[in-house]
Amino acid sequence: MTVDLTTKFTGLDFVNPFILASAPPTESKRKILRAFEAGWGGIVTKTIGLHPVENVAGPKTIYQRTSEEKPYVSRMKRADTVSHSSWNWELISDQALEIWLPDLKEIKETYPDRMVIASIMAGAGSQEELDNWCKLAKEVVAVGCDAIELNMSCPHMDRKDMGANIANDEEIIRDIVGAVTKAVDVPIWVKLTPATSTVADAAGAAYDAGAACISICNTFPSLPLMDPETLKFEVEVDGLVTSGGLGGLAILPQALQRVSDINKAHPDGAISGIGGIRGFREAFNFIVHGAGNLQICTAAMEEKGSGGVGVKLIQELKDDLADYLERHGHSSIEDFRGIARDRIVEHSQVRRKSDDYNGGYAKSA
């Protein structure tokens, strides 16, 4: 392979633009080292917080599949099925900050050319919580992390001052991004929820307050399915379930729409694209809508024999990107990044059979 896959993104040098998203593939030193050995350009750690975390007393993630024969979505193992989505209700990391810090230091020292982005989360609405964001940020930067991703998008938080619950509040976004930007001197990435019609406004507030990039999408709020015969949800504890997050292939088109919305409203703002990437075709689609960096979770978790870090997947992504660049004579993804922007238009700007249509408004005489 002669093509150069390096990219500069938010001022950081990536050996390739593919990174593991904040999730189980990046929950431990062991997995992160394995991921770097396999060739990932960077990782976003599983989100680190200061508040107590205890997960449900049952499976935290299921993989839903579908088939051509009987295309219902189910985690049930059936012949000839393909992946549809992941569904999870996992909370943020239950590993304490004090355990993370020496691990992060060792990871960065072992792989100085790979980007380590620490995902962090605290609450909102008080100086104490702002201080918590800043404490987390300062400590992970002190052990060598290259950037920080603020998790304002976890879809299953009870606390109303955390995760996706705060991602529509532009004042809160400005306060947190502003405080963390002042506290540390590394790029601040802000991960937003797709579960809002005003994601471009939320992104604007984050960019204004100093965010170096928007990471989008976290998972979509969703429920697992109920089996009509047993009346059990496909994942439940004592018959109960709650809203969790959908990831994987099923969210790809919606994720692209969120990326496009942000890119159209803020053409100069950096975007790290996430949601349903399984190979180069999906990554390509994020890039044409403006993403300069790609994050992957479900596809890596689903790869058998890789310990859930996508060993074959990263090789394929790199090979297929190199092949594409070579065949099209591109020197980097910058050559085709954002090329779809002007082709996403308002509904009424798409040609009709007659000239009379006025977007549903009556034409004035």
Ligand X SMILES: Cc1cc2nc3c(=O)[nH]c(=O)nc-3n(C[C@H](O)[C@H](O)[C@H](O)COP(=O)(O)O)c2cc1C
Supply the residues annotated as catalytic: 154
With contact defined as beta carbons under 8 Å apart, do 104 and 118 qualify? yes
Under 8 Å CB-to-CB from 123, ≥6 apart: which residues?
A: 51, 129, 132, 159, 161, 162
Q: For the CB of residue 86, give the shortest distance to ligand X in the complex, in Å.
A: 4
Q: Return residues touching ligand X (CB under 6 A).
A: 21-24, 46-47, 61, 86, 88, 90, 92, 119, 151, 154, 191, 218-219, 247-248, 251, 274-277, 296-299
Q: Which is nearer to ligand X, 30 or 70 (CB)?
A: 30
Q: For the CB of residue 23, give the shortest distance to ligand X in the complex, in Å.
A: 4
Residue type, 112: P
The owner of tokens 């009709």 is: 352
Per DSSP, what are the bridge partners of residue 43?
A: 20, 116
With contact defined as beta carbons under 8 Å apart, do 263 and 98 qualify? no
Backbone CA torsion sign across 65, 44, 113, 107: negative
Q: For the CB of residue 298, give the shortest distance to ligand X in the complex, in Å.
A: 3
Under 8 Å CB-to-CB from 38, ≥6 apart: which residues?
A: 306, 309, 310, 311, 314, 315
CA–CA distance, 163 with 95 (Å, rounded to integer): 18
CA–CA distance, 329 with 185 (Å, rounded to integer): 37
Backbone CA torsion sign across 94, 96, 100, 102: negative
Q: For the CB of residue 87, give the shortest distance to ligand X in the complex, in Å.
A: 8
Q: For the CB of residue 63, give the shortest distance to ligand X in the complex, in Å.
A: 9
Q: Which is nearer to ligand X, 154 or 205 (CB)?
A: 154
Per DSSP, what are the bridge partners of residue 14?
A: 7
Q: Which is nearer to ligand X, 62 or 101 (CB)?
A: 62
CA angle 236, 91, 98 (to 5 degrees): 145
Under 8 Å CB-to-CB from 320, ≥6 apart: which residues?
A: 279, 280
Under 8 Å CB-to-CB from 158, ≥6 apart: which residues?
A: none
Q: Which is nearer to ligand X, 58 or 112 (CB)?
A: 58
CA–CA distance, 247 with 301 (Å, rounded to integer): 11
Tokens of 122: 């605290």
Concatenate the DSSP letters of all residues of 258-293 into one string: HHHHHHHH-TTSEEEEESS--SHHHHHHHHHTT-SE
Q: For the CB of residue 164, give the shortest distance to ligand X in the complex, in Å.
A: 10
Q: Which is nearer to ligand X, 43 or 359 (CB)?
A: 43
Q: For the CB of residue 183, give the shortest distance to ligand X in the complex, in Å.
A: 20
Q: Residue number with the shortest CB distance to ligand X? A: 247
